[in-house]
Structure 1
Amino acid sequence: MTAGGTRLDDDAAAPAVLTRLARDAARRPLLVALDFDGTLAPLVDDPDASRALPAAVDALRALAQVPGVTLALVSGRSLTDLHRRAEVPVGTVLIGSHGGERGRVGEHGLIHEPIQLDPEQDALLVRVGAGLQRAARGRNGVWVQHKPAAAVLHTRLAEPDDAEAATREGLAVAEELGVHAIHGKDVVEVSVLTVTKGTALQQLRADLGAAAVVYAGDDTTDEHAFADLEATDVTVKVGPGGTVARYRVPDPEALAEALAGFAAALA
């Protein structure tokens, strides 16, 4: 139950609370921040095949036209990868690598706020990557992605036994090196920076002076953001599973519909 007595699994609750927020002109500036995979885009086995739903793209374009509203995508993907596939309007803030990277969509492409690692962090990142490569070696469907400040072990395409073993070894690498690991859906991301989606979202909120935040996500990594936001903000879990979010929608299609209704109510 939410504080207002609405059931978390009531599919009508999220659209209703968004409509109420749209009608409250005092709650501006407004930050609308969203995860990408599993939230705007249905989950697929091949990450390169992931695309936002056309209805979600349309809803984001409508939201971007509303004065006092800032859009942001908050993803585990690298910033360049997120920008390449996001299909979001100019001015959208992009937060990648679970909070480790930040930029903005400009008229002529991605405006990237660069990450500066010191020599010790650079050396540690090499060790993280090597450790995850060992966890992946000899296991079909397990692979390692390298980011500016992290390495990611992917297991979505692996058989369950291989995925479990690789995940266990990936988490052990982080523990051995004394660095932060994020265990999400079929991924272990090991970063040399101590960041989460929640801390990145809090920083963006402060920079914007946002009076209210809407955040939607589907993954365990989104729980950091749900937990760090205020009780008066709107947090939406997409899909099944335990959550600290205050509202839930069943799937990305339902979220796209809710966002379209939100944009219409704001107009």
Structure 2
Amino acid sequence: MTDTASHLPPASAVALATALQKLATTDRLLLALDFDGTLAPFVDVPRGARALPESKAALDRLEHLPNTWVAYVSGRPLSSLEVVTEADADALLIGSHGVEIRFGRDGVSLDLSPTEQETLERLGDVLGALVDDMPGAKLETKPVGYGVHYRLVEGDRDAEVVARAREAAATVSDALTIRYGKDIIEFSIREAHKGDGVERLREYTKATAVLFAGDDVTDEDGFSVLRPADGDVGIKVGRGETAAQYRVADERAIATLLTLLAQAREAHLKSSTD
């Protein structure tokens, strides 16, 4: 385990290994996982992202076990999340930071009001104009908002992009939900976050313990609803302040941890039926 999180003190690595072993024995296990930067490396073309093969193999093993659920919790729109996760019809998906929910074959309708539709259209117009005026910036359309990506903007202009995007959005409404992620600022006409999604998943699966892993600022909402005293485990991927109990270096460390969890869960379930 020390190798999977080599930047951690050995005691922390041992604590994480112990927590995963305990997690594997819970009655009803839910894995709620961010996608980009957690299971999949970042890529220039968002729809081209895919989970590392080792993570995908471990998750396939886990989701076929009894009383074990795998869910993806992402800021991506549901339509994009379905593609990159290669989700089947029974997958549990939380998209758009909790606004969109798909529990298996049942989706959740957004039912935007005429006022919301009008605000969304105006927001798209002003942010689209901003992106057109800033080479390298990209506008991502989301079900209830937009994201302005600036990773490919040349020069040290991150603060400028963020400031101009905020100014543009403020001309449309002062009631927008604003989120900051890695090289993206997002504006939404509805309030929801990943913590809401994790709680909905917990309720739906009746999980007795939850693993949530994520790498971004928006994942802190997911960590905030975990219940460590009940066996929940939160894992932060990469650097940055976090409310998660544990931290690992990168997506490959997560792949290793998921493989170990799959092995431990299989062993526990086998021993309980022998």
Q: TM-score interval w.r.t. the shorter chain? A: 0.7 to 0.9
Letter of the structure 1 residue corresponding to residue 148 of structure 2: L
162 and 15 in structure 1: CA distance in 2 versus 1, 3 angstrom threshold: same
Q: Which has the higher helix share?
A: 2
Letter of the structure 2 residue corresponding to residue 144 of structure 1: L
**Further displaced range: 122-131 or 235-244:** 122-131
Secondary structure of 2:158's match?
helix
CA drift of 1:113 comes to: 2.4
* Mapped contact 2:23–2:29 kept (Cα < 8 A): no
- What is the aligned partner in structure 1 of residue 95 from structure 2? 96
- What is the aligned partner in structure 1 of residue 128 from structure 2? 133
* Mapped contact 1:101–1:115 kept (Cα < 8 A): yes
Once the two structures are superposed, the pairs formed by residues 130-169 of structure 1 within 5 Å of their partners are: 130-169=125-164
- What is the aligned partner in structure 2 of residue 60 from structure 1? 59
Measure, in 1, the Cα distance between the counterparts of 2:190 and 2:215.
23
Matched, 1:114 2:109: yes
- What is the aligned partner in structure 1 of residue 17 from structure 2? 15
Measure, in 2, the Cα distance between the counterparts of 1:136 and 1:64.
40
* Mapped contact 1:75–1:95 kept (Cα < 8 A): yes
Measure, in 2, the Cα distance between the counterparts of 1:265 and 1:243.
27
* Mapped contact 1:57–1:87 kept (Cα < 8 A): no
* Mapped contact 2:47–2:80 kept (Cα < 8 A): no
CA drift of 1:217 comes to: 0.3
Measure, in 2, the Cα distance between the counterparts of 1:259 and 1:12.
16
- What is the aligned partner in structure 2 of residue 195 from structure 1? 192
- What is the aligned partner in structure 2 of residue 212 from structure 1? 209
Matched, 1:256 2:255: yes
Measure, in 2, the Cα distance between the counterparts of 1:12 and 1:128.
48
12 and 37 in structure 1: CA distance in 2 versus 1, 3 angstrom threshold: farther
Letter of the structure 2 residue corresponding to residue 79 of structure 1: L
Percent identity at matched positions?
A: 37
**Further displaced range: 154-163 or 228-237:** 154-163
Letter of the structure 1 residue corresponding to residue 238 of structure 2: G
Measure, in 2, the Cα distance between the counterparts of 1:137 and 1:89.
36
- What is the aligned partner in structure 2 of residue 37 from structure 1? 36
Secondary structure of 2:12's match?
coil
**TM-score scaled by length of structure 1:** 0.88
9 and 56 in structure 1: CA distance in 2 versus 1, 3 angstrom threshold: farther
Measure, in 1, the Cα distance between the counterparts of 2:169 and 2:204.
31
Measure, in 2, the Cα distance between the counterparts of 1:7 and 1:229.
23
Secondary structure of 1:10's match?
helix
Letter of the structure 1 residue corresponding to residue 159 of structure 2: E
CA drift of 1:204 comes to: 2.0
- What is the aligned partner in structure 1 of residue 48 from structure 2? 49
Letter of the structure 2 residue corresponding to residue 164 of structure 1: A
264 and 7 in structure 1: CA distance in 2 versus 1, 3 angstrom threshold: same
CA drift of 1:88 comes to: 4.5
TM-superposition CA deviations, 1:124-178 (whole Å, max 9, x none): 1112212322332321111111122111111111124333212112233445511
> Which runs of no fewer than 5 residues in structure 1 stay unpaired?
1-5
Matched, 1:184 2:181: yes
CA drift of 1:104 comes to: 4.2
Letter of the structure 2 residue corresponding to residue 203 of structure 1: R
**TM-score scaled by length of structure 2:** 0.86
- What is the aligned partner in structure 2 of residue 246 from structure 1? 245
> Which runs of no fewer than 5 residues in structure 2 stay unpaired?
1-7, 267-274
Q: How many residues align?
A: 255
Letter of the structure 2 residue corresponding to residue 14 of structure 1: L
87 and 229 in structure 1: CA distance in 2 versus 1, 3 angstrom threshold: same
- What is the aligned partner in structure 2 of residue 3 from structure 1? none
144 and 15 in structure 1: CA distance in 2 versus 1, 3 angstrom threshold: same
